Amino acid sequence: MFISPLRYQPDLNISGPSTHELAVTVIGADFVRTPAGNFVAWKVKVGDEGTAWYEVQPPHRLIKLETQFEILVLK
């Protein structure tokens, strides 16, 4: 289940918070550079919503998130 803070809801003709199911695909290991350092991370495709990178080593922190509107990185 994916929670979107601002998604167009055609049945209501408004944009607002909503939940919907998405397929999550683990693409594989990738190298990511952030202000917090360099990481080996799992690259994960989150439906059509974006791509996320999670640290390979536990606790599997979110390192980077790219969506249609923003890019967030660990700092």
Name 59's Cβ contacts closer than 8 Å, sequence gap at least 6: none
How far apart are the two ends of the chain, measured CA to CA in Å?
A: 27
Tell me the C-alpha distance between 54 and 38, whole Å: 12
Tens-place pLDDT, residues 45-55: 988 889 999 99
Stated length of the chain: 75
Q: Which residues pair with 71 in a beta bridge?
A: 66
pTM listed for this prediction: 0.76
Tens digits of residue pLDDT in 23-51: 999 999 999 999 999 999 999 998 888 99
